[in-house]
């Protein structure tokens, strides 16, 4: 496997992009889970699907757009979806959760329309839906690197504000923090991560990489920073194991990454159960 990585550019691109995504997806995922916004990742991933399908359709219909990287329109759709979610949340102040199914449904609807209009890109779309080791180009890798720089800079600069907003939104607003704008920027950064991760994990599975490693870490950590660190560790283990399995077994990497994440979660849950049982036995 090591020799293959050094021999083939597409494998270098896939593993480099995967390692980066294994950091930024769980990193943002911690804030998403703590703020109980896990379903937003699903909504934005389906909006991204609409953008990708639309881009593939346009590349068939308009000759000048034949070489357009679908990732660009996918990112634009995801960012636009994040803005619409925030707008709807402000309109339905007492029913803010309505924004998520509305945007999710819109993403599925437009995606289905573009898929039905276009012909002959089922194989390309499959790679975007479930990830593909061989489809990650050097341009895709550069996009992922750019997204990672933005995400890491945002979290580093606004870590304290994000921490306060995650645990006590009312206090953050009362203390004078620009909560609305920070949350707005957080949504945009989340959209960028989802769109940038789809080449490796796949549109339909990317939200899993943002939540399952976090769920796993939360069972064995006692502090917020420990949760971030272990979430990234579990995310990287899932990505590396998933990509290696996908390469040797000729499977969709998104599926192998997510299954690995679930396996790690089950191991941790089993470990915690055994540990609790031993403590009860010792007390008895």
Q: What is the pLDDT of residue 56?
A: 82
Cα diameter, the chain: 75
Output phi, psi for 95, to 5 deg: -135, 55
Cα 118 from Cα 139, distance rounded (Å):
24
The answer as to whether 184 is a domain residue is yes
Closest CA to 137 of 249, 9, 39: 9
Query: b/e for 148-187, b at 16 or more Cβ within 10 A?
Result: bebbeebbeebeebbebbbeeeeebeeeebebeebbebbb
With a CB cutoff of 8 Å and minimum separation 6, the contacts of 59 are 65, 66, 67, 68, 70
| Cβ-contact 203, 49 below 8 angstroms | yes
| Cβ-contact 59, 70 below 8 angstroms | yes
Q: What is the pLDDT of residue 4?
A: 59
Q: What is the pLDDT of residue 206?
A: 85
In the chain, how many H helices and how many E strands? 13, 0
Domains identified in the chain, total number? 1
Q: What is the pLDDT of residue 154?
A: 94
The answer as to whether 42 is a domain residue is yes
Place of tokens 């990732």: 71
For the chain, the C-alpha Rg in angstroms (whole number) is 20
CATH of the domain at 158: 1.10.3470.10
Q: What is the pLDDT of residue 215?
A: 93
Q: What is the pLDDT of residue 279?
A: 76
* Tokens representing residue 216 in the block: 């796993």
pTM across the whole model: 0.86
For residue 78, count other CB atoms closer than 10 A to its CB.
32
The answer as to whether 244 is a domain residue is no
Residues 199, 122, 63, CA angle at the centre, nearest 5°?
Answer: 85
Cα 58 from Cα 241, distance rounded (Å):
35
The answer as to whether 264 is a domain residue is no
Domain hosting 122: range is 2-203
Cα 282 from Cα 59, distance rounded (Å):
66
The answer as to whether 284 is a domain residue is no
In tens digits, what is the pLDDT along the chain, a chain of 284 residues?
A: 556 555 777 788 888 989 999 999 999 999 999 888 888 888 888 898 888 888 888 887 777 777 777 888 888 998 899 889 888 888 887 777 788 889 989 998 998 888 888 765 565 677 777 787 777 888 888 989 999 999 999 999 999 888 888 887 777 677 777 878 888 899 889 889 988 888 788 887 888 889 999 999 999 988 899 999 999 999 999 999 998 888 888 888 888 999 999 999 999 999 888 887 777 767 65
Cα distances from 181 to residues 83, 177, 188, in angstroms, run: 11, 9, 11
The answer as to whether 260 is a domain residue is no
C-alpha 88 chain-centroid distance: 22
The answer as to whether 232 is a domain residue is no
Q: What is the pLDDT of residue 254?
A: 86
The answer as to whether 189 is a domain residue is yes
């Amino acid at each position: 496997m090591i020799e293959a990585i050094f021999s083939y550019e597409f494998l270098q691109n896939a593993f480099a992009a995967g390692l980066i995504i294994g950091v930024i997806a769980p990193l943002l995922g911690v804030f998403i889970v703590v703020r109980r916004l896990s379903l937003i990742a699903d909504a934005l991933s389906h909006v991204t699907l609409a953008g990708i399908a639309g881009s593939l359709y346009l590349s068939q219909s308009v000759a000048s757009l034949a070489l357009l990287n679908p990732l660009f329109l996918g990112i634009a759709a995801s960012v636009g979806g994040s803005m619409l979610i925030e707008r709807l949340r402000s309109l339905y102040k007492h029913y803010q959760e309505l924004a998520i199914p509305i945007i999710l449904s819109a993403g599925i609807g437009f995606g289905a329309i573009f898929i039905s209009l276009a012909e002959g890109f089922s194989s390309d779309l499959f790679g975007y839906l479930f990830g593909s080791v061989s489809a990650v180009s050097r341009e895709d890798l550069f996009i992922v690197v750019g997204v990672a720089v933005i995400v890491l800079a945002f979290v580093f600069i606004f870590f304290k504000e994000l921490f306060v907003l995650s645990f006590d939104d009312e206090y953050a607003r009362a203390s004078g923090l620009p909560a609305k704008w920070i949350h707005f920027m957080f949504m945009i950064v989340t959209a960028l991560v989802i769109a940038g991760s789809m080449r490796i994990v796949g549109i339909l599975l990317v939200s899993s990489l943002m939540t399952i490693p976090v769920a796993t870490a939360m069972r064995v950590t006692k502090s917020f920073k420990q949760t971030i660190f272990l979430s990234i560790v579990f995310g990287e283990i899932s990505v590396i194991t998933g990509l290696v399995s996908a390469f040797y077994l000729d499977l969709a990497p998104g599926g192998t990454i997510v299954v690995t994440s679930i396996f790690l979660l089950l191991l941790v849950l089993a470990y915690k159960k055994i540990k609790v049982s031993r403590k009860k036995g010792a007390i008895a």
